Amino acid sequence: MASGVTNVAFAPPPDQTWTRVSPLLARMRRTVVIALGIPVVAGVAVGLSFAWDTAGPIVGIIGALVLVWAWFAIGRNFRSWRYVERADDMVVTHGAMFKKLTVVPYGRMQLVDVKAGPIARSFGLVSVKLHTAAATTDAEVRGLTPDHAGALRDRLTALGEAHAAGL
């Protein structure tokens, strides 16, 4: 019954649609998993086959299954990264297994962080994180293109100034 039931809680706000992030996010993660996963699985399989003949194929099959699962899990997780900018706040959601949805009122934003690690940068991806005075605020949008992220940051900063409410 259930996971469908829970989805109503994570539906887009009424009369709004989610903005999705760039599919490059999934491609980046898949590339990383494949690039690291295949050599590791192959190495372990070959190494173990010296000790025990049948270990090689068994490890190989299990490893391949895990990688296939990871391929689909990444897709599922990628589709879960969504956000919508509303009049007074921004709603951010992500997570397939552990679902999370955060609402950050513009007036509560302390700063907007734009970040990109070396791998993300090589794929042309940036993440935008919203900070409030609460440490528990969990509002991050990953997988934005630099143009998108820059525009989003500028919009948020302007909205933050317009709505600013003291602590």
Partner 1 sequence: MPPASDQKTGDSAPALADETFRLHPLTPIALGGRVLGILIVITALGFAERGASGGASPNWIQVAIFGGLALLLVVRGIITVAVTSYHLLGGELRIDSGLLQKQSKRIRLDRVQSVDVLEPLSARIFGLAEVKVTTAGSERAAVRLRYLALPVAQSLRADLLGRSTGAGEGAVEAPERPLITVPHGRLVGSVLLQMVSWRLLLLALGPALTVIGQQNGHKATTGIGIAIFVWFAVLIAHAIWQRVNSLWEFTVTDSPDGLRVRHGLLSTTRQTVPPGKVQAILIHQPMSWRPFGWVQVRMNVAGYGRADSSKRTTLIPVTDRAFAESLVGWMLGGVDLHDIPLTRPPRRAALRAPLWWRAEWAGADDRVFVGRHGLLSRTIDVVPHQRTQSLRLSAGPWERALGLASVHLDSTPGPVRTRAAHRDAAEARQMLDRQIDRARTARQIGTPQSAQAPRVS
Q: What residue ranges bind partner 1 (CB under 8 A)?
A: 1-3, 5-11, 13, 88-89, 97-105, 107-108, 132-139, 165, 167
Of the chain, the end-to-end C-alpha distance in Å amounts to 43
Q: Which residue lies nearer to partner 1 by CB, 35 or 87?
A: 87
How many CB atoms are located within 10 Å of the residue 5 CB? 8
Q: What's the min distance (Å) between Cβ of 148 and partner 1?
A: 22
Q: Which residue lies nearer to partner 1 by CB, 24 or 84?
A: 84
Phi, psi of 126 (to 5 degrees): -140, 150
How many CB atoms are located within 10 Å of the residue 132 CB? 17
Q: Which residue lies nearer to partner 1 by CB, 51 or 133?
A: 133
Measuring CA to CA, which residue among 24, 59, 31, 28 is closest to residue 45? 59
Q: Which residue lies nearer to partner 1 by CB, 28 or 92?
A: 92
Phi, psi of 141 (to 5 degrees): -115, 115
Q: What's the min distance (Å) between Cβ of 30 and partner 1?
A: 23
The sheet with strand 89-94 has its strands ordered as 19-20, 82-85, 89-94
Q: What's the min distance (Å) between Cβ of 136 and partner 1?
A: 5
Query: Which pair of structure tokens corresponds to residue 159?
Result: 């909205």
Measuring CA to CA, which residue among 152, 162, 99, 104 is closest to residue 127? 152
Q: Which residue lies nearer to partner 1 by CB, 88 or 154?
A: 88
Q: What's the min distance (Å) between Cβ of 16 and partner 1?
A: 12
Q: What's the min distance (Å) between Cβ of 54 and partner 1?
A: 34
